[in-house]
Structure 1
Amino acid sequence: MSDVTRRSLLATGAVLLREGGVASPEYDASELLAHVLGVTRGGLVLVDHISDEQSDRYLSLITRRAAREPLQHLTGAAYFRHVELAVGPGVFVPRPETELLAGWAIEQASRVLRATGADPVVVDLCTGSGAIAKSIADEVPGARIHAVELDEAACAWAARNLSGTGVDLRQGDMEQAFDELAGSVDVVVCNPPYIPLDAWESVATEARDHDPDLALYSGQDGLDAMRVLEERAALLLRPGGVVGAEHADEQGPDGVGGGAPAVFAATGRWADVRDNRDLAGRPRFTTARLAR
């Protein structure tokens, strides 16, 4: 098929996605065509033949994406820092902003390794697809990583993604996870559910209709899971160990009641309670150090 037809397919796809309210129509149109053809987005310019079957498959995927089915569900993959993850129905699709939290955890684990020469012990609570745990395993070889996920379907995706990494993955509630590690963990990291129950209408269609509710909602103020995390991290960490947890934009230090940072600061157990902004300057995750 000619280059004009390839461009025509992409243009048609972008128009349909834009009409469906997709935020990045050109990007998604290119990703889907690359997926159908088995090439990278950059490799599309090298394709000189597209069959009618491939064209029909592409337009079918475009229709599903225009109906706001997540792009990653259609391609079966999500990319997070330097790793690829298998994703689909039943698991929360990792977001780019969470890469900053993962980067923080990687930096903290690496710091322990440099300072002590010992393999850092890291716990990833609410691991979901296993994105953070897999990134730490990828970038901090030798780290002893433990991860837990409550939802059965999500845990199955995590098991697939963490296979061969050496991560100790368990299915269960973070409130009771890893009692045997009490007082020995260097880094606790968590991307918990944090959407208030009455805020579901504000959630993007892709997340509201396709991500599991267990990964999204957390009580009336969205901070119920954060409170559980604070208690569990205080139990697991060694004195001087650190915790990092993602939260919603509105749950930074200027949020109601001081937001996520206040959950840690109010207990008196933590030093160096800080909130961290994402690349767009929005409050994104809280970090704290267990007081010695």
Structure 2
Amino acid sequence: MNLLLAEVAQATLRLADAGVPSPRFDAEELAAYVHGVKRGELHSVADGDFDARFWEAVARREAREPLQHITGRAFFRYLELEVGPGVFVPRPETEVVVGWAIEALRAMDVAEPLVVDLCTGSGAIALAVAQEVPRSVVHAVELDERAFGYAERNAAGSRVNLHQGDALAALPHLNGTVDLVISNPPYIPLEEWENVAPEARDHDPEMALFSGQDGLDVIRGLSRTAYRLLRPGGLVVVEHADTQGGTVPWIFNEESGWVDAADHRDLNNRPRFTTARKEGA
């Protein structure tokens, strides 16, 4: 075992003791980042090339600073995104949500499906849709100025149309024309603050996490915004907490003009997102 791999093994133990959920992966990712190689190439780093800054990075992760803030990058589906303080770090759970939306768009009998991503944050969802559904026209909305800056940098050179503003009042010129609205909104109840993982609670923007006493304030607003934006028969896709699977579909009820409201599970078989179709067509 070379020196770097031995140090990674020690770092794994330290991160595990600190309660980091994926200590081995994080230790390897930090080592790869510091040494400018891929995780699968760590064995190729010569002992003389070991960089002591690795232990500085480990100490930051040990203090529960997000891995992505240390490396400045997050991987989402087929994308590598710039992230850091001031923007929500995209999670693997959201990849499943986006996967459902992409399949739905591919199945639509629409030449150039029109998509709106509300509360875009880093731009992860909008960029994934634009990349994987090349014929789509994608708009993304973000209110927070710092988060919008990350979205601008990530979307540079892409086909995504960015808009800074309130997601609940966004894009009135698109009313009644959108094929699919998607969002990963804030959905954590305020009373759950102490139970949120330190990586999110202490580093992600509060605006991207919390939404009223039951966590559903923004989702309720998004149901009205999505209905306004969508054409008859258009689809809405909204992520939520795994504890809200029995609640969110009821927000998209028939009395409000929705049909086929349903909840979907993630790869761990937990309720993760709700879909519904605007009545008509």
Q: What TM-score do you get using the length of structure 2 for normalisation?
A: 0.97
Distance across 2 between alignment mates of 1:4 and 1:164: 41
- The CA deviation string for residues 104-149 of structure 1, in whole angstroms up to 9 with x for no partner, is 121122222xx23x20000000001100000011101121100000
The aligned residue for residue 77 of structure 1 is: 73
Number of aligned residue pairs: 280
Distance across 1 between alignment mates of 2:173 and 2:100: 25
- Once the two structures are TM-superposed, the CA of residue 50 in structure 1 deviates from its matched residue by 4.3
Distance across 2 between alignment mates of 1:199 and 1:280: 22
Distance across 2 between alignment mates of 1:195 and 1:33: 33
**Matches for 1:70-219 after TM superposition, within 5 Å:** 70-112=66-108, 115-116=109-110, 118-219=111-212
Distance across 1 between alignment mates of 2:275 and 2:213: 23
AA of the residue aligned to 2:49: S
- Once the two structures are TM-superposed, the CA of residue 200 in structure 1 deviates from its matched residue by 0.5
Q: Which runs of 5+ in 2 are unaligned?
A: none
Distance across 2 between alignment mates of 1:266 and 1:209: 39
Matched, 1:7 2:5: yes
Percentage identity across paired residues of the two chains: 55
Distance across 1 between alignment mates of 2:184 and 2:196: 17
The aligned residue for residue 270 of structure 2 is: 282
SS in 2 for 1:97: helix
User: Does the 8 A contact of 2:68 with 2:84 survive in 1?
Assistant: yes
AA of the residue aligned to 1:14: T
The aligned residue for residue 256 of structure 1 is: none
Q: Choose which of 29, 34, 37 in structure 2 pairs with 1:36.
A: 34
Q: Choose which of 258, 265, 268 in structure 1 pairs with 2:256.
A: 268
Q: Choose which of 240, 243, 248 in structure 2 pairs with 1:247.
A: 240
Report the RMSD for the aligned CA atoms in angstroms: 1.1
AA of the residue aligned to 1:57: R
User: Does the 8 A contact of 2:5 with 2:42 survive in 1?
Assistant: no
Distance across 2 between alignment mates of 1:65 and 1:101: 28
Distance across 1 between alignment mates of 2:174 and 2:222: 15
Distance across 2 between alignment mates of 1:4 and 1:87: 31
User: Does the 8 A contact of 2:66 with 2:203 survive in 1?
Assistant: yes
The aligned residue for residue 279 of structure 2 is: 291
AA of the residue aligned to 1:26: R
- Once the two structures are TM-superposed, the CA of residue 266 in structure 1 deviates from its matched residue by 5.9
Q: What TM-score do you get using the length of structure 1 for normalisation?
A: 0.94
SS in 2 for 1:124: strand
